[in-house]
Amino acid sequence: MNAGRVLTESGVDTDELRALIHPIQPEQVSLRSAPRLMMRFWGSGIKAMTLRRRIFVDPKVLNGDKAKLSLLVIHELVHVRQWHDLGVLGFLGRYLRSYLRGRRDGLNHRDSYRAIDLEVEAREIQARFR
Ligand SMILES: [Zn+2]
């Protein structure tokens, strides 16, 4: 399965979205079931993880409601674009620094995670397609 197919089937494959994730081609991003071992490290509420051009999704969500899945895919495609723009070390370094800044400022784990600038951008873009 690829991310482009989910977008097409849900009717959210728009020029606006394409511009926001440029130059990523959703057809070239693979979507697969997250292995159990990987999910063991996910906090509660985490439904997917993106590693460069691969999106790993909780199998329940992958086989569940199409509209919910497509919103999740939009969020993760923003991360694919961020990985592309920043490079592997750039992405991971910025993600971690942003998280640690939140912790240093006294936020708990969940709030620090939500305050990561790369997550904020992904959520903002995702919200446009609700
Ligand atoms: Zn995210």
The domain locations on the chain are 3-127
Ligand 1 center to residue 95 CA distance, Å? Answer: 10
* Structure token pair of residue 40: 């063991």
Residue 66 in tokens: 């199409």
Mean pLDDT of 93-112: 97
Q: Positive or negative, the Cα torsion across 10, 47, 86, 130? A: positive
CA gap 15, 39 in Å, rounded? 33
Percent of the chain topping pLDDT 70: 100
* Strand intervals (E) in the chain: 30-33, 48-51, 54-57
pTM of the predicted model, to two decimals?
A: 0.96
Summarised one tens digit per residue, pLDDT across range 39-97 is 999 988 899 999 999 999 999 999 999 999 999 999 999 999 999 999 999 999 999 99
**3-127 to CATH, choices 3.90.1690, 3.30.2010, 3.30.160, 1.10.287:** 3.30.2010
**Residues with Cβ within 8 Å of residue 27, at least 6 apart in sequence:** 2, 3, 4, 5
Average pLDDT, integer, range 121-129: 97
Confidence of residue 127 (pLDDT cuts 50, 70, 90): very high
Rg (CA), the chain: 14
Distance 48 CA to ligand 1 centre (A): 8
Q: Which residues surround ligand 1, an ion (CB under 5 A)?
A: 119, 122
